[in-house]
């Protein structure tokens, strides 16, 4: 008897457990809201939407977004409202909008879309934005307020004013105030022009431009003054942006030229294969990403030592196999290294591919650092600029604080005297060429984050590198840094009105005229090295 009673209780408990989800779903107030929306006639749809908004349900935004995207449907047989996940083909993948649970696939003939007209769809944009303005994350609220600029209508003014009073984040408040001011300027409110006068946002400028053409003379005059004030701020921001891009380009030139400055200054070698050493560093980055697929950040970090070692090894091979036999014969060295550059280019085309390769930029290097509505700094260029300065600082430490640096400076000053003091000049030449080549590889690693990697990558920078070295002063690292940043900035300033090609020609002419007056560059070497 007791066994039968136990079995009966167990069955009752099991039935209760199985019925819980259904009961919970039946009691879910969201179900009535969705059915009300699906069954509402055209005249009652707005009322049904407002009921969902005022419900305070955290799922309301997802429902309304799906409704606006035609992804709410109703099962013909049961009347259940479902969320369409994939509406391609004859069978559609659906989910329960109350629980988010995937319900599998159902033939589209068994479903009726919940109809929406363009008027309601247009209103939904503002409604969704208002829902986002109540989100706990300030970034979501600010993005929502920004999205509402130019989209505010009379129905949203009162809710936005109420939100403005209770909002505690300054950035969000500013965006809401701008959104309201844009609407009010459109309505002819002169006082609202003062709110937009300090804004650099494109939609604020568009509203002021429209107001400047208004028949209301007071409004037009006020808007015109505001636009003049904004234009002055825009000029300053454009100048800052040009300077940033100039410094970014200059940092690339510094990275490309600093290794050349070392080898040219110490050994007097005109290395026309320097660009291909840059290319090898860039291909090393691409190769590391093939070894670590899906981990571009790790691959990039590992590419820094790997790119240095690959290019340095190639440099040692070039120095030992060719350059050591051509010391003191600059013309033969130039021709030999030019031949090596062609060999390296063809080798890459044969072994890898003649096509350009794309290197994936890590997520932490993507995007921009937003300063204001008119100025943003791309992160990849910012990282390259910082990387160039770190490499420069590292080279300065090597040259000033290590035995190798001391020997390099001694050989640069007077090779014969350095030999007589026991310094092995041949070893210094090898180490110097390896160091300069390794830095070229680092330049390639950095360039892989700014442009596609291809066999001709280095050719785009070899001439500019020589110009930087000559302009800054042969063998002078400080001169290379200042010359690279200066030429990059000058080139960026000239490009908008002269064009890319003419800008380079003007820079080249400037350097030719400059070295007529100062043949040894901005920072000429001193002492015995200056006599050679």
In a domain, 9, yes or no: no
Residue that has been written with the tokens 């080798």 in this structure:
347
* Identity of the highest mean pLDDT range in 58-62, 151-155, 184-188: 184-188
- The answer to whether residues 275 and 463 touch, using CB atoms and an 8 Å cutoff, is no
Residue 419, domain extent? 240-357+379-531
Look at residues 457, 428, 425 and name the one whose alpha carbon lies nearest to residue 440: 457
**Whole-Å CA distances, 174 to 48, 160, 181, 182:** 32, 12, 10, 12
Compute the distance between CA of residue 270 and CA of residue 247 in angstroms, rounded to an integer. 26
Shared-domain flag, residues 463 and 402 = yes
pLDDT at 149: 81
Shared-domain flag, residues 176 and 268 = no
Last-in-domain residue among 214, 249, 269: 214
- The answer to whether residues 324 and 434 touch, using CB atoms and an 8 Å cutoff, is no
Shared-domain flag, residues 160 and 264 = no
pLDDT at 341: 92
- Four-point Cα dihedral 183, 187, 188, 191, nearest 10: -40
Answer left, alpha or beta for residue 100, where phi above 0 means left and psi between -120 and 50 means alpha: left
In a domain, 65, yes or no: no
Query: Which one is predicted more confidently, 341 or 62?
Result: 341
In a domain, 254, yes or no: yes
Of 52-61, 162-171, 471-480, the one with minimum mean pLDDT is 52-61
pLDDT at 7: 44
Confidence band of 84 (pLDDT split at 50, 70, 90): confident
Of 39-43, 103-107, 506-510, the one with minimum mean pLDDT is 39-43
Angle of helix 403-413 relative to helix 379-401, nearest 10 degrees, comes to 80
pLDDT at 1: 47
Given a cut of 50, whether residue 528 has pLDDT beyond it is: no
Could you read off the pLDDT of 96-145 as tens digits, one per residue?
888 888 888 888 788 888 888 777 777 777 777 777 777 778 888 888 88
In a domain, 97, yes or no: no
- The number of folded domains in the chain is 2
Compute the distance between CA of residue 443 and CA of residue 392 in angstroms, rounded to an integer. 11
> Hey, how many other C-beta atoms are within 10 angstroms of the C-beta on 88?
8
Residue that has been written with the tokens 């009966």 in this structure:
8
Given a cut of 60, whether residue 529 has pLDDT beyond it is: no
Where helices occur in 154-271 by DSSP H, the ranges are 154-166, 170-186, 191-196, 202-212, 217-267
Residue that has been written with the tokens 């989209």 in this structure:
151
CATH value at residue 494: 1.10.3470
pLDDT at 192: 87
In a domain, 344, yes or no: yes
Could you read off the pLDDT of 406-417 as tens digits, one per residue?
887 777 667 777
- Sorted by sequence, the CB contacts under 8 Å of residue 220 that are 6+ apart come out as 211, 212, 213, 214
Shared-domain flag, residues 205 and 275 = no
Shared-domain flag, residues 159 and 247 = no
* Residue 82 DSSP label: E
pLDDT at 25: 53
In a domain, 100, yes or no: no
Could you read off the pLDDT of 444-468 as tens digits, one per residue?
999 999 888 999 888 888 888 888 8
Shared-domain flag, residues 208 and 259 = no
Query: Which one is predicted more confidently, 5 or 322?
Result: 322
* Residue 214 DSSP label: -
Compute the distance between CA of residue 408 and CA of residue 121 in angstroms, rounded to an integer. 72
Shared-domain flag, residues 395 and 504 = yes
Given a cut of 60, whether residue 8 has pLDDT beyond it is: no
pLDDT at 22: 45
pLDDT at 282: 93
In a domain, 390, yes or no: yes
Average pLDDT (377-402) is 90
Adjacent-strand bridge partners of 169: none
**Whole-Å CA distances, 361 to 252, 367, 449, 451:** 17, 10, 6, 10
Of 201-205, 253-257, 299-303, 520-524, the one with minimum mean pLDDT is 520-524
> Hey, how many other C-beta atoms are within 10 angstroms of the C-beta on 89?
10
Compute the distance between CA of residue 435 and CA of residue 453 in angstroms, rounded to an integer. 23
pLDDT at 315: 92
Shared-domain flag, residues 206 and 260 = no
In a domain, 43, yes or no: no
Shared-domain flag, residues 462 and 399 = yes
Of 209-213, 268-272, 390-394, the one with minimum mean pLDDT is 268-272
Confidence band of 14 (pLDDT split at 50, 70, 90): very low
Shared-domain flag, residues 201 and 247 = no
Last-in-domain residue among 214, 249, 268: 214
**Whole-Å CA distances, 194 to 68, 179, 191, 373:** 36, 13, 6, 17
pLDDT at 526: 57
* Residue 199 DSSP label: -
Confidence band of 167 (pLDDT split at 50, 70, 90): confident
Last-in-domain residue among 149, 179, 214: 214
Shared-domain flag, residues 252 and 315 = yes
Average pLDDT (261-270) is 77
Confidence band of 5 (pLDDT split at 50, 70, 90): low
| Model pTM score | 0.74
Shared-domain flag, residues 403 and 454 = yes
């Amino acid at each position: 008897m007791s066994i039968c009673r136990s079995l009966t209780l167990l069955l009752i408990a099991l039935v209760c457990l199985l019925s819980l989800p259904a009961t919970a779903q039946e009691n879910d107030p969201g179900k009535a809201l969705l059915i009300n929306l699906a069954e509402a006639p055209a005249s009652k749809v707005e009322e049904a939407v407002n009921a969902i908004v005022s419900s305070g349900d955290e799922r309301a935004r997802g429902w309304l977004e799906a409704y606006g995207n035609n992804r709410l449907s109703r099962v013909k047989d049961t009347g259940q409202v479902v969320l369409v996940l994939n509406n391609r083909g004859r069978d559609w993948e659906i989910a329960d909008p109350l629980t988010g649970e995937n319900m599998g696939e159902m033939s589209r003939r068994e479903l009726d879309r919940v109809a929406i007209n363009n008027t309601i769809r247009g209103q939904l944009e503002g409604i969704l934005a208002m829902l986002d303005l109540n989100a706990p994350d300030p970034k979501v609220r600010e993005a929502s307020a920004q999205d509402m600029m130019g989209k505010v209508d009379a129905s949203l003014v009162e809710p936005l004013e109420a939100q403005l009073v209770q909002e505690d984040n300054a950035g969000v408040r500013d965006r809401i105030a701008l959104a309201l001011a844009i609407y009010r300027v459109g309505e002819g409110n002169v006082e609202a022009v003062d709110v937009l006068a300090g804004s650099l946002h494109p939609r604020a400028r568009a509203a002021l431009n429209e107001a400047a053409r208004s028949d209301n003379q007071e409004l037009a005059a006020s808007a015109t003054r505001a636009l003049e004030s904004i234009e002055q701020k825009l000029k300053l921001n454009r100048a800052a942006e040009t300077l940033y891009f100039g410094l970014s380009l200059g940092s690339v030139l510094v990275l490309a030229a600093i290794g050349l400055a070392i080898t040219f200054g110490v050994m007097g070698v005109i290395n026309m294969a320097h660009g291909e050493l840059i290319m090898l560093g860039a291909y090393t980055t691409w190769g590391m990403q093939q070894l670590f697929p899906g981990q571009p950040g790790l691959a990039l970090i590992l590419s820094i030592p790997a790119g240095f070692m690959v290019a340095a090894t190639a440099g040692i091979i070039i120095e030992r196999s060719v350059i050591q036999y051509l010391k003191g014969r600059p013309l033969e060295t130039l021709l030999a290294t030019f031949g090596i550059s062609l060999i390296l280019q063809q080798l890459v085309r044969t072994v890898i591919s003649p096509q350009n390769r794309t290197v994936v930029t890590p997520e932490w290097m993507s995007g921009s650092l937003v300063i204001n509505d008119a100025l943003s700094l791309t992160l990849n260029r910012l990282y390259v600029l910082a990387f160039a300065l770190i490499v420069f600082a590292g080279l300065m430490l090597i040259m000033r604080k290590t035995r190798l640096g001391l020997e390099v400076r001694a050989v640069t000053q007077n090779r014969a005297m350095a030999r007589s003091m026991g310094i092995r000049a041949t070893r210094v030449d090898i180490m110097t060429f390896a160091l300069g080549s390794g830095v070229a590889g680092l330049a390639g690693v950095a360039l892989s984050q700014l442009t596609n990697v291809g066999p001709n990558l280095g050719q785009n920078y070899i001439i500019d590198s020589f110009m930087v070295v000559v302009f800054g002063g042969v063998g002078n690292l400080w001169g290379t840094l200042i010359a690279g940043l200066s030429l990059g900035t000058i080139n960026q300033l000239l490009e908008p009105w002269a064009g890319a090609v003419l800008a380079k020609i003007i820079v080249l002419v400037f350097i030719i005229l400059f070295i007529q007056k100062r043949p040894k560059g901005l920072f000429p070497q001193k002492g015995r090295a200056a006599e050679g």
